[in-house]
């Protein structure tokens, strides 16, 4: 099992992400698909449960079913992961197999918020939802469950590639979540994605008032094209 975090690259990525504009999951998804031809958004079963927008580099946690697993050992590994992660990181955790077990709850959310992490994305469940909402800590998951994954799952790896919500997430990949869902950009194409996402987002925001003005999508496009030709 890999327990060590490649700290310097993640620190660099976290600093880089902090300098980026508040991109939407839609703009990142569109940008990644344009650049790579691959889907970049998680299934809509991974949904916002607490907090709001999140963005940052991924640190990952993969859990596999094991009814003989030590809840204490798994908890310690998760604690070390959160306490070593750079501020601004997004913790992406996946349960292999049944999803109706809680990976994180109020104590881990309190720790993550204190460590200034960006949020949780869980392909599985969380618990203590009232506390998570009170903390306003960004949390995305399939749902809630009162029972813990501890004692039913062992941690197979940390900072390894994981499959979350139907897409691959690698350590350091740029994760963006909002009310629409979660999108992921490969870390090696971060700069390209940000540029393309900014462009797509700006074009869309500029088009909306033109549609409202004309009551017509086609006329809005015509006005935008005419404006671009005059420039």
pLDDT in tens, 210-225: 999 999 999 999 988 8
Query: Cβ(115)–Cβ(87) under 8 Å?
Result: yes
Query: Cβ(125)–Cβ(100) under 8 Å?
Result: yes
- Percent of the chain, pLDDT > 70? 90
CA neighbor of 95 nearest in space, from 135, 154, 138, 39:
154
CA neighbor of 51 nearest in space, from 6, 5, 112:
112
The confidence score (pLDDT) of residue 227 equals: 80
Residue the block writes with tokens 């997430």? 169
Using one digit for the tens of pLDDT, what is the confidence trace for 141-169?
999 999 999 999 999 999 999 999 999 99
pLDDT over 50 at 3, yes or no: no
Q: What's the mean pLDDT when you consider all of the chain?
A: 91
CATH of domain 7-187: 3.50.30.40
Q: How large is the average pLDDT for residues 50-62?
A: 96
Using the 8-state DSSP alphabet, how is residue 152 labeled?
A: T
Q: What are phi and psi of 71, to 5 degrees?
A: -65, -35
pTM for this predicted structure: 0.88
Query: Cβ(132)–Cβ(49) under 8 Å?
Result: yes
The confidence score (pLDDT) of residue 4 equals: 43
State the span(s) of the chain assigned CATH 3.50.30.40. 7-187
The confidence score (pLDDT) of residue 2 equals: 44
The confidence score (pLDDT) of residue 43 equals: 97
pLDDT over 80 at 9, yes or no: no
Using one digit for the tens of pLDDT, what is the confidence trace for 11-53?
545 555 554 558 999 999 999 999 999 999 999 999 999 999 9
Question: What percentage of the chain's residues is helix, strand, coil (to nearest 5)?
Answer: 40, 30, 30
pLDDT band at 63 (very low <50, low <70, confident <90, very high): very high
pLDDT over 70 at 192, yes or no: yes
Q: Whole-angstrom Cα distance, residue 230 to residue 113?
A: 49
Q: CB 100: neighbour CB atoms within 10 A?
A: 14
Q: Which residues pair with 168 in a beta bridge?
A: 163
Residue the block writes with tokens 């005059």? 230
pLDDT over 70 at 206, yes or no: yes
């Amino acid at each position: 099992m890999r327990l060590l975090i490649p700290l310097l690259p993640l620190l660099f990525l976290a600093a880089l992400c902090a300098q980026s504009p508040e991109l939407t999951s839609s703009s990142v998804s569109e940008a990644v698909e344009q650049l790579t031809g691959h889907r970049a958004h998680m299934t809509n079963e991974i949904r916002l449960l607490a907090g709001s927008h999140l963005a940052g580099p991924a640190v990952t946690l993969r859990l596999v079913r094991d009814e003989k697993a030590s809840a204490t050992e798994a908890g310690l590994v998760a604690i070390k992961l959160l306490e070593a992660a750079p501020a601004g990181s997004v913790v992406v955790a996946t349960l292999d197999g049944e999803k109706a077990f809680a990976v994180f709850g109020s104590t881990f959310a309190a720790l993550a918020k204190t460590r200034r992490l960006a949020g949780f994305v869980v392909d599985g469940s969380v618990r203590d939802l009232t506390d998570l909402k009170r903390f306003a800590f960004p949390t995305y998951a399939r749902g809630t469950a009162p029972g813990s994954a501890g004692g039913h799952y062992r941690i197979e790896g940390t900072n390894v590639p994981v499959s979350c919500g139907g897409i691959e997430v690698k350590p350091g990949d740029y994760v963006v979540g909002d009310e629409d869902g979660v999108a992921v950009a490969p870390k090696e194409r971060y700069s390209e994605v940000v540029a393309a996402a900014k462009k797509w987002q700006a074009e869309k925001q500029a088009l909306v008032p033109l549609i409202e003005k004309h009551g017509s999508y086609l006329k809005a496009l015509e006005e935008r094209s005419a404006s671009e030709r005059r420039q």
